[in-house]
Amino acid sequence: MTAAKSLCQVLLAPFSGKTVELASVPDPVFAEKLTGDGLAIELNSDTVLAPCDGVISLFFDTKHAFAITTDDGIQILVHVGLDSIILNGEGLTALKKSGDRVKAGTPIIKVDLDVLKKNSINMISPVLVVNYDKVSDLKTRSAGCEVAAGSDEVLQYALAV
Protein backbone atom coordinates (compact mmCIF):
# COMPACT_ATOMS: atom_id res chain seq x y z
CA MET A 1 0.00 0.00 0.00
CA THR A 2 2.46 2.58 -1.20
CA ALA A 3 0.55 4.62 -3.80
CA ALA A 4 0.31 8.34 -3.16
CA LYS A 5 -2.69 9.18 -1.01
CA SER A 6 -3.58 12.15 -3.21
CA LEU A 7 -4.33 9.76 -6.07
CA CYS A 8 -6.09 7.13 -3.99
CA GLN A 9 -9.07 6.73 -1.74
CA VAL A 10 -8.41 4.85 1.50
CA LEU A 11 -10.55 2.86 3.89
CA LEU A 12 -9.73 2.71 7.58
CA ALA A 13 -10.26 -0.43 9.63
CA PRO A 14 -13.90 -0.37 10.79
CA PHE A 15 -12.96 -2.64 13.70
CA SER A 16 -9.81 -3.88 15.38
CA GLY A 17 -8.50 -7.36 14.68
CA LYS A 18 -6.35 -9.47 12.39
CA THR A 19 -6.68 -9.09 8.62
CA VAL A 20 -7.81 -12.07 6.54
CA GLU A 21 -7.46 -12.50 2.77
CA LEU A 22 -10.92 -12.57 1.18
CA ALA A 23 -10.20 -15.88 -0.58
CA SER A 24 -9.69 -17.47 2.87
CA VAL A 25 -13.10 -16.43 4.23
CA PRO A 26 -15.12 -19.61 4.91
CA ASP A 27 -18.18 -18.33 3.02
CA PRO A 28 -18.19 -18.64 -0.78
CA VAL A 29 -20.30 -15.50 -1.23
CA PHE A 30 -17.38 -13.48 0.12
CA ALA A 31 -14.45 -15.73 -0.86
CA GLU A 32 -15.54 -15.77 -4.51
CA LYS A 33 -16.13 -11.99 -4.49
CA LEU A 34 -19.82 -12.34 -5.37
CA THR A 35 -20.71 -9.27 -3.29
CA GLY A 36 -17.53 -7.25 -3.82
CA ASP A 37 -13.76 -7.18 -3.48
CA GLY A 38 -11.75 -6.27 -0.43
CA LEU A 39 -10.60 -8.06 2.68
CA ALA A 40 -11.89 -9.32 6.01
CA ILE A 41 -10.89 -8.63 9.59
CA GLU A 42 -11.29 -11.04 12.49
CA LEU A 43 -13.32 -8.70 14.68
CA ASN A 44 -12.15 -8.27 18.28
CA SER A 45 -13.55 -4.83 19.15
CA ASP A 46 -17.01 -3.89 20.35
CA THR A 47 -17.66 -0.91 18.07
CA VAL A 48 -17.91 -0.86 14.29
CA LEU A 49 -16.75 2.43 12.76
CA ALA A 50 -17.32 4.01 9.37
CA PRO A 51 -14.28 3.13 7.23
CA CYS A 52 -14.70 6.29 5.12
CA ASP A 53 -16.71 9.46 4.65
CA GLY A 54 -20.06 9.13 2.92
CA VAL A 55 -23.75 8.43 3.37
CA ILE A 56 -25.13 5.23 4.88
CA SER A 57 -27.00 4.00 1.83
CA LEU A 58 -28.10 0.66 3.26
CA PHE A 59 -28.55 -0.59 6.81
CA PHE A 60 -29.93 -4.09 7.20
CA ASP A 61 -32.83 -4.44 9.68
CA THR A 62 -30.86 -7.24 11.33
CA LYS A 63 -28.02 -4.74 11.97
CA HIS A 64 -25.40 -7.25 10.78
CA ALA A 65 -24.26 -5.14 7.81
CA PHE A 66 -24.39 -1.68 6.29
CA ALA A 67 -23.17 0.10 3.18
CA ILE A 68 -21.69 3.56 2.80
CA THR A 69 -21.74 5.34 -0.54
CA THR A 70 -18.80 7.70 -0.90
CA ASP A 71 -19.11 11.08 -2.56
CA ASP A 72 -17.44 9.59 -5.65
CA GLY A 73 -20.15 6.90 -5.91
CA ILE A 74 -18.23 3.92 -4.55
CA GLN A 75 -20.30 1.62 -2.32
CA ILE A 76 -18.50 0.10 0.68
CA LEU A 77 -20.12 -2.84 2.50
CA VAL A 78 -19.19 -3.65 6.09
CA HIS A 79 -20.43 -7.03 7.35
CA VAL A 80 -20.21 -7.94 11.06
CA GLY A 81 -19.21 -11.60 11.41
CA LEU A 82 -20.32 -14.49 9.21
CA ASP A 83 -23.90 -15.78 9.45
CA SER A 84 -24.64 -13.08 12.03
CA ILE A 85 -27.93 -12.47 10.21
CA ILE A 86 -29.34 -15.45 12.14
CA LEU A 87 -29.22 -13.39 15.35
CA ASN A 88 -31.86 -11.03 13.91
CA GLY A 89 -30.11 -8.05 15.49
CA GLU A 90 -29.47 -9.60 18.91
CA GLY A 91 -26.14 -8.35 20.25
CA LEU A 92 -25.96 -5.55 17.67
CA THR A 93 -27.07 -1.98 18.40
CA ALA A 94 -27.37 0.50 15.53
CA LEU A 95 -25.89 3.89 16.41
CA LYS A 96 -26.72 5.43 13.01
CA LYS A 97 -29.36 4.87 10.35
CA SER A 98 -29.75 4.75 6.61
CA GLY A 99 -29.44 8.24 5.14
CA ASP A 100 -27.02 9.53 7.79
CA ARG A 101 -23.87 11.28 6.55
CA VAL A 102 -20.81 9.97 8.39
CA LYS A 103 -17.10 10.66 8.56
CA ALA A 104 -14.42 7.97 8.74
CA GLY A 105 -14.22 6.80 12.36
CA THR A 106 -17.89 7.52 13.21
CA PRO A 107 -19.33 4.73 15.42
CA ILE A 108 -22.03 2.86 13.46
CA ILE A 109 -22.77 -0.34 15.41
CA LYS A 110 -22.16 -1.38 19.02
CA VAL A 111 -21.34 -5.10 19.22
CA ASP A 112 -21.92 -7.35 22.22
CA LEU A 113 -19.06 -9.77 21.56
CA ASP A 114 -20.33 -12.18 24.24
CA VAL A 115 -23.65 -12.62 22.40
CA LEU A 116 -21.88 -13.33 19.11
CA LYS A 117 -19.49 -15.81 20.75
CA LYS A 118 -22.31 -17.50 22.69
CA ASN A 119 -24.09 -18.07 19.37
CA SER A 120 -20.91 -19.38 17.68
CA ILE A 121 -20.77 -16.53 15.17
CA ASN A 122 -17.54 -16.56 13.20
CA MET A 123 -15.93 -13.17 13.88
CA ILE A 124 -14.41 -12.88 10.39
CA SER A 125 -15.96 -9.66 9.07
CA PRO A 126 -15.73 -8.65 5.39
CA VAL A 127 -15.09 -5.06 4.27
CA LEU A 128 -15.88 -4.79 0.56
CA VAL A 129 -15.95 -2.43 -2.38
CA VAL A 130 -19.28 -3.55 -3.87
CA ASN A 131 -19.02 -1.81 -7.24
CA TYR A 132 -15.36 -2.70 -7.71
CA ASP A 133 -15.75 -2.43 -11.48
CA LYS A 134 -15.63 1.35 -10.90
CA VAL A 135 -12.23 1.25 -9.22
CA SER A 136 -8.73 0.38 -10.33
CA ASP A 137 -5.60 -0.51 -8.49
CA LEU A 138 -7.43 -1.99 -5.47
CA LYS A 139 -4.89 -2.85 -2.77
CA THR A 140 -5.55 -4.41 0.62
CA ARG A 141 -3.52 -4.80 3.80
CA SER A 142 -1.63 -8.10 3.89
CA ALA A 143 -3.29 -11.02 5.68
CA GLY A 144 -2.28 -11.62 9.29
CA CYS A 145 -1.76 -7.96 10.24
CA GLU A 146 -3.23 -6.59 13.45
CA VAL A 147 -5.15 -3.41 12.68
CA ALA A 148 -6.69 -0.79 14.95
CA ALA A 149 -10.20 0.50 14.34
CA GLY A 150 -10.37 4.00 12.94
CA SER A 151 -6.64 4.51 12.52
CA ASP A 152 -5.05 1.85 10.30
CA GLU A 153 -5.57 1.90 6.53
CA VAL A 154 -6.79 -1.49 5.28
CA LEU A 155 -7.70 -0.83 1.67
CA GLN A 156 -6.98 1.73 -1.01
CA TYR A 157 -8.18 2.22 -4.55
CA ALA A 158 -8.20 4.68 -7.41
CA LEU A 159 -11.29 5.53 -9.43
CA ALA A 160 -11.39 3.79 -12.80
CA VAL A 161 -11.10 6.18 -15.74
Closest-CA residue to 108 (of 43, 49, 46, 44): 49
Q: What are the C-alpha distances in Å from 119 to residues 79, 81, 83, 103?
A: 17, 11, 10, 31
Question: In terms of residues, how long is the chain?
Answer: 161
Active site amino acids = 79
Q: How far is 81 from 70, CA to CA, in rounded Å? A: 23
